[in-house]
Amino acid sequence: MDPIRFVFSTNIRLCRGSSSKAKTPQLSPRSASADFSRSSGSSLHGQNQPSTPHLPDIPAFSCGVCPKKFDRRCELNKHISRLHTKRFKCTQQGCTQAPFGFEADLRRHVLAKHNGAELRAIFKCGIDGCNEAFSRKDNMRRHARSKH
């Protein structure tokens, strides 16, 4: 199999088949090309020369909307979904929040900003004398770290 085709098919399999907890080695076109070059190099003037052309240090997948580039297609897809595809808009009357790329982001916004979230702040700062309360636990923790 052509080394370049192997690298790209391996990248696609790794993107689709690995979970965030899996410790799957991530190959980029450059690193795999270097491995093939070392193992299958030919000798010219006593030095090993790569049998495949050197790949420049540029990522293989470019965003069509902005100048960002990525080594793997799944990284490009995630970037486009998060930054350029805003399908989830808040339906609350008068809300001026920009649309979100993920439904979970919209859900978090609605819980934090609407439905009386200010009145039902359930995470209270545990430090004596502090009366701050928050609708989200991560915001309360951030407050505790930065203020106390």
pLDDT digits (tens, 9 = 90+) for 82-105: 888 888 999 888 999 999 888 888
Number of domains in the chain: 2
Q: Are residues 33 and 68 part of one domain? A: yes
96 assigned to some structural domain: no
- Inter-residue contact 135 to 121 (CB < 8 Å): yes
**pTM, 2 dp:** 0.36
pLDDT at 74: 94
pLDDT digits (tens, 9 = 90+) for 36-73: 444 444 444 545 554 555 555 666 899 999 999 999 99
> ∠9-13-18 over CA atoms, to 5°?
155
- How far apart CA 50 and CA 36 sit, in angstroms, is 8
Which of 84 and 2 is assigned the larger pLDDT? 84
Q: Are residues 20 and 55 part of one domain? A: yes
Q: Are residues 120 and 70 part of one domain? A: no
Q: Are residues 120 and 58 part of one domain? A: no
Task: Give the least confident one: 18-27, 127-136, 138-147.
Answer: 18-27
95 assigned to some structural domain: no
pLDDT at 126: 83
Q: Are residues 18 and 72 part of one domain? A: yes
Q: Are residues 111 and 79 part of one domain? A: no
| Parent domain of 119 | 103-147
94 assigned to some structural domain: no
Q: Are residues 116 and 75 part of one domain? A: no
The DSSP element (H or E) to which 36 belongs, if any, is: helix 29-40
Burial per residue of 68-78, b for 16 or more beta-carbon CB atoms within 10 angstroms, e otherwise: eebbbebbbee
114 assigned to some structural domain: yes
Q: Are residues 72 and 116 part of one domain? A: no
97 assigned to some structural domain: no
Q: Are residues 75 and 22 part of one domain? A: yes
Which of 34 and 103 is assigned the larger pLDDT? 103
Q: Are residues 80 and 7 part of one domain? A: yes
Q: Are residues 65 and 30 part of one domain? A: yes
Q: Are residues 107 and 60 part of one domain? A: no
Average pLDDT, the chain: 71
Structure tokens at 75: 């990284």
- How far apart CA 32 and CA 62 sit, in angstroms, is 20
Beta bridge partners of 88: 100
pLDDT digits (tens, 9 = 90+) for 109-123: 888 888 755 545 678
Contacts of 126 (CB under 8 A, 6+ apart): 144
